[in-house]
Amino acid sequence: MNTRFGASRLTLLYMLAAGLWVLLSDGLLASLGLTLAQFERLQSLKGLLFVLLSGALLYGLLRAQQHRLTRTSRDLGASEDSLRQAAAVFEATQEGVLVTDAEQRIVHVNPAFSRITGYSAEEVLGREPSLLKSGRHDTAFYRGLWEALQRHGSWSGEVWNRRKSGEIYPQWHCIRAIHDAQGRIGHYVAVFSDISALKRSERELDQLAHYDPLSALPNRRLFSERLAHAFDRARRGQSQGAVLLIDLDHFKHINESLGHNVGDLLLRAVGERFAAQLGDDMTLARLGGDEFGLLCERCPAPDQATGLAQRLLHSLASPFLLAGHELYIGASIGISLFPEAIDDVEQVLRNADSALFKAKSNGREGFAFYDQGLTEYARQRVELVGALRQALDGDQLRLHYQPLHELHDGRLLGVEALVRWQHPQRGLVPPAEFIPIAEDSGLIGAIDAWVLERACRQMVAWQASGVALRFVAVNVSSRLFGRGELDRQVTRVLAETGLDPACLELEVTESAVMEDPDAAQERLERLRRLGVGLAIDDFGTGYSSLARLKRLPVHKLKLDQSFVRGLPHDGDDAAISRAVIALGHSLGLQVVAEGIEQPEQAEFLRRLGCDYGQGYHFGRPVAAEQIGSAPAARARPGEPQPQPQEVL
């Protein structure tokens, strides 16, 4: 428009100048008074001058136009070069490029797009970019992306997309909105890079920074970080954790005699055996050389740390078969509990290291706590477990029997079998001391089987000798009951001993039943079909549902002794006892009160309608040969009870 305006203006100026020249020049010549010949010559000169001036002006205009045309041609050539360069970059760049129209339909992609995504241009043109979605990002992610794009005109960030093969991979994505001359969005351009290799490199660097390359276990740095987090949580939550430092005994002899390659194989194998002992809240690390660390974030009692240390040591008991060699290796373990009175993580590790030194000083192949008292306690428990194993093999266990009487007339009806341990050096070991150890060590199952078999044989012997007992009661541990094999074991024992099933009563604790009520009901029904009696022991200490209780195939409830102890003066105990007895009778069950020690307790329970009672008032647990003696058989509530000569 500017060019057309300039040409018109020049044309008007030229016409005005030419008209003035003709008019003025003719009048000027006429006023000079020249002769005709002079006038004609000047007229010719005037015309020639006009031609010269017009030619010069025309030449200037044409020259200016030529310059403009040349400049325009040069600019067009430069633009074409720029377009060719941009096209070359678009085709050759290693980043994927995707162009959509304003409706988000793909209108162009470059070769790198096809190489990265696996889609050819023909497969995506006209479709929407959503075909690349991986499903990893939620609606909120894409909503934030479009809000940023509308607000700022561009967005960049990490996106997980899906290739044509189905592989999900990470991209670094940059999207820009392209506006036309009127300011409307005409296209969107997305440029992205495949950063899978970068992610792999990050993982590899993280692996090198936090994991031991030989064993693939966490290294000292990661172990310390996790310990710091666990230490802070323990202090805030007032819980307790444990750190175990494990050092292989005489490992250097392996390296020196068989070489470091065999030593490395052994370290990996040891790590695998240790890892098999871990729980969900534990971290096993190789701290360097032949030293391992184990973090147990939840360790509420020293016993748990003791059991863990024992399992680790036991895992090394069998030989390692490596590179044609049969290798044996032991370990020493130092244990530090936290937070205790510890100020920081470094002190936890120092304490564990001191405990490890103590374990090595004590002869290796063992463990020690930082606290000497805990170490002695743990050592005694370990010794007790070993001695208990020997007791099972060496016939050191004994059965004593506590009488169970009818409360309304004092008649002896049956007995409860109670296991005792006659240690050759320590004498009689209290059940409260060795039964928990047996449960923790897994020996309780073997003890249960022994008690069941011995009690059934003793009942057969009593029947043969004329002792009038209706039944013998045997306690069933929660471990044995939970296995679901009790009915088969009872069937076998009854068959081997010849005992009538009606003469055997099994007592299962309320807590064992409530661990898995549905499974417990099915197991109790299988036992009841055998014909044995069933009782719920320690009733009132658990959380039985009445709806659940009425469906259990049992015929007795045993009122826990903790509610009997305060009778008859404690109002709460009296109310609970009255409620349990009434509940049992309403369900058609007999009720047995445990722990009766005073005549007034027996009398109070009798008035409440309790069916049976047992406790020191009727007799302490005694050996089998003392059952059926006259004093025990004739005992009545309220009468003084002669005590057996053997007090256990």
Cis peptide before 339 (omega within 30 of 0): yes
What pLDDT is recorded for position 70? 66
Residue 477 contacts by C-beta under 8 Å, 6 or more apart in sequence? 439, 444, 445, 447, 448, 512
Report yes or no: 218 and 285 within 8 Å, Cβ to Cβ: yes
* CA pair distance 555, 520, nearest whole angstrom: 15
Output the pLDDT for position 633. 41
Kindly report the backbone phi and psi dihedral angles of residue 185, in degrees, each rounded to the nearest multiple of 5, phi listed first: -70, 120
Res 644: pLDDT: 34
Which residue is listed with tokens 């085709």? 91
In the chain, what are the domains?
Answer: 2-85 (no CATH), 93-200 (3.30.450.20), 215-370 (3.30.70.270), 387-634 (3.20.20.450)
Higher pLDDT, 380 or 234: 234
Using a 10 angstrom Cβ sphere, with 0-12 exposed, 13-18 middle and 19 or more buried, the burial of residue 273 is middle
- In what helix (H) or strand (E) does residue 327 lie, and over which residues does it extend? strand 325-327
Residue 637 is classified by DSSP as: T
Token digits of residue 287? 């701290």
* Beta-strand pair 412-423/427-429: antiparallel
Q: Would you state the pLDDT for residue 630?
A: 39
Which residues fall within 8 angstroms of residue 117, CB to CB, at 6 or more apart? 96, 132, 161, 163, 164
Residue type, 467: V
The predicted pLDDT at position 275 comes to 93
What size, in residues, is the chain? 648
Q: Is the pLDDT of residue 234 over 60?
A: yes
Contact criterion met (CB below 8 Å) for 411 and 480: no
**What would the pLDDT profile of 123-164 be if each residue is shown by its tens digit?**
999 999 989 998 889 889 988 888 888 888 889 899 999 999
Residue 86 DSSP one-character state: H
Burial class (CB in 10 A: 0-12, 13-18, 19+), 194: buried
Residue 540 has φ and ψ, to the nearest 5°, of 105, -15
Torsion of CA 495, 498, 504, 507, to 10 degrees: -40
Which pLDDT band holds residue 62 (cuts at 50, 70, 90)? low
Residue 393: Cβ-neighbour burial (10 angstroms; 0-12, 13-18, 19+)? exposed
Give the separation between CA 296 and CA 337, rounded to whole angstroms. 9
Residue-wise pLDDT for 270-305, tens only, equals: 999 999 998 888 999 999 999 999 999 988 888 889
Which span out of 75-79, 232-236, 498-502 was modeled with the highest average pLDDT?
498-502
Does residue 205 contact residue 118 with C-beta atoms inside 8 Å?
A: no
Helices (DSSP H) in 276-321: which residue ranges? 302-315
How much of the chain, in percent, has pLDDT values that exceed 70? 83
Which pLDDT belongs to residue 546? 63
* Backbone φ, ψ for residue 199 (5° rounding): -65, -40
Strands 282-288 and 185-194 turn out to be unpaired
Give 76's Cβ-side CA count (13 Å radius). 6
**What is the pLDDT at residue 631?**
44
Are 510 and 544 in contact, with CB atoms under 8 Å apart? yes
326 has a pLDDT exceeding 80:
yes
Q: pTM for the full model?
A: 0.48
The backbone region for 482, taken as left when phi is positive above 0, alpha when psi lies in -120 to 50, beta otherwise, is alpha
The secondary structure of 584-598, three-state, reads HHHCCCEEEECCCCC
Please say if the pLDDT value at position 83 is more than 60.
Answer: no
d(CA 648, CA 637) in angstroms, rounded, equals 22
